[in-house]
Amino acid sequence: MSQHILILALMVGIANWVFRYGPTRLSRGAGQGAGALARFLSATGPAAIATLVVASTLPMANATQVLPLVMGVGAVLVLWVWRRSVMIATLGGALAYALTTFAAAST
Amino acid sequence: MSNALPSTVRSGLVTALPIAMGYFPIAFAFGVAATGAGLSAAEAFALSLIIYAGASQFLALALITSGAPLLVAAFTLIAMNLRHVLYGPALLKAAGEAASTRHAWAWAWGLTDEVFGAALGEVARGRQFSEPFMFGLGLGAYASWLAGTLVGALAGGGALADWPVVQAGLSFMLPALFLSLLLSILTRPQVPVIAVAGLATVAGTLAVSGTAGILAGMIAGAAAGTLRRGRA
């Protein structure tokens, strides 16, 4: 195994563990109540996930991928409203994206 | 009032199923991409085992293959994962004052974007936060990530070359998962937060870089939520 890759993985992995675990100890109680920090933390979840939705779809927003993207996002929305299941919405969205990509490539 | 949903390791594992089903193909794609980029199966598996952060693992492949210096690559990847700092406190805030963190050193490792989103959604739906539940939730997702990576790495770099439809579906799995998780925690008061986060992400990405866009979106969205509620 490459030493370079192993060292890189260890540096990033240790940082990830510190990022994920550290704040659960350091800020214990700091996020409770109705203060500014509590409001900030309450908004963090939706903000983080919304950011990741945009960041992951932005590279797909080009001319060749826009139709599959619209179909994929549409399928996720429809399936979520219909079934309220993260798994069904995710898999259905991916399927719609794949099939639209295939159809677009075939025409 | 709690609706008595179980908070055991088993219920955590069950809750992890959608994530595991989403993770496996993405990790498979990572394993395929890693070996396609010249890494060995062991190196691909090590990245998933030690880093365990999907988006930054794909970025790591690009940095490794481009010959980026070690410190530059490490700094870039670490900066990309800075957002995880916010997850533990946000989850514990939702869980309430009685939430235990005695074994957080173990379950917090599994606080990926999707596990965090799923845990937050479960707490919002009335499930009581517990460390065994978090451990089960994290373990299910982690095991799937590792298994998918291993299978993909062993399949080899050209495994999906003859399957363009599968390849296309896999490429949309992560966005679909993020969107589903967002819908699962969506409430009306959070709409402005989501809008600001989305706009800041686009602006940061176009103006600077994808990593800058992610950080800008998260911080701007959370700040917007703080200010809006503060004025109410």
Question: How far apart, in whole angstroms, are the C-alpha atoms of residue B209 and residue B222?
Answer: 20
Is residue B1 one of the residues assigned to a domain? no
Judge whether A100 lies within some domain: yes
A97/B84 CB distance under 8 A? no
Residues B72 and B109 in one domain: yes
Residue B53 lies in a domain: yes
Domain total in chain A: 1
Note whether B134 and B203 are same-domain residues.
no
Neighbours of B4 (CB within 10 A): 9
Confidence tier at A34 by pLDDT (50, 70, 90)? low
Residues B42 and B81 in one domain: yes
B227 and B167 inside one domain = no
**Residue at A94 is within a domain:** yes
| B165 and B227 inside one domain | no
The neighbour count for residue B126, using CB atoms within 10 Å, is 11
Residues A53, B182: C-beta atoms closer than 8 Å? yes
- B138 and B192 both lie in a single domain: no
**Does the structure show a pLDDT above 90 at A87?**
no
Q: Which domain does B101 fall in, by range?
A: 9-186
Q: Is B129 in the same domain as B215? A: no
Tell me how close the Cα of A101 comes to any Cα of chain B, in angstroms.
Answer: 7
Q: Considering the domain boundaries, does residue A26 fall inside one?
A: no
Task: Indicate whether B4 belongs to any domain.
Answer: no
Q: Is the pLDDT assigned to residue B51 strictly greater than 80?
A: yes
Percentage, residues of chain B above pLDDT 70: 96
The set of residues, in sequence order, having a beta carbon less than 8 Å from that of A81 and lying 6+ positions away, is none
Q: Please judge whether B88 and A20 are an interchain contact, meaning their C-beta atoms are less than 8 angstroms apart.
A: yes
Residue B74's alpha-carbon distances to A12, A20, B31, B80, B214, in angstroms, are: 6, 17, 20, 10, 17
Same domain, B101 and B165: yes
**Residue B60: its chain A contacts at CB < 8 A?**
8-9, 12
* CA–CA gap between residue B69 and residue A8 (Å, rounded): 10
Residue A52 placed within a domain = no
In a domain, A92, yes or no: yes
B232 pLDDT higher than 50: no
Residue with tokens 């993770």: B23
Q: Which chain B positions have a beta carbon within 8 Å of A42's beta carbon? A: 90, 93-94, 225, 229
Residue B75 in any domain: the answer is yes
In a domain, B181, yes or no: yes
Question: Does one domain contain both B198 and B178?
Answer: no
The answer as to whether A90 is a domain residue is: yes
Does the structure show a pLDDT above 80 at B20? Answer: yes
- A73 or B37, which is more confident? A73
Cβ within 8 Å, pair A73-B179:
yes
Q: Are A72 and A97 in contact (CB under 8 A)?
A: yes
Whether residue B81 lies inside any domain: the answer is: yes
Axis crossing angle, helix B164-184 with helix B113-124, rounded to the nearest 10? 40
Q: Could you list the residue range(s) of the whole structural domain that residue A82 is in?
A: 61-107
SS3 B135: helix
- Asked if B156 and B143 sit in the same domain, the reply is yes
Report long-range pairs for B209-214 (Cβ below 8 Å, ≥24 apart): B210/A55, B210/A58, B211/B76, B211/B79, B211/B80, B213/A51, B213/A54, B213/A55, B213/A58, B214/A51, B214/A52, B214/A55, B214/B80, B214/B83
Among the ranges given (A37-46, A89-98, B126-135, B211-220), the one the predictor scored with the smallest mean pLDDT: A37-46
Do B196 and B173 reside in the same domain of the chain? no
Same domain? B70 vs B119: yes
Q: Tell me: the pLDDT tens digits for B89-108?
A: 889 988 888 788 899 999 99
- Three-state secondary-structure class, residue B192: helix
- Answer yes or no: is pLDDT of B142 > 90: yes
When divided into structural domains, chain B yields a total of 2
* pLDDT classification of B175: cutoffs 50, 70, 90: confident
**Alpha carbons B131 and B100: distance in angstroms, whole number:** 7
Residue A86 pLDDT = 75
In a domain, B71, yes or no: yes
Contact B179/A at CB under 8 A: yes
Contact B78 A50 (CB under 8 A): no
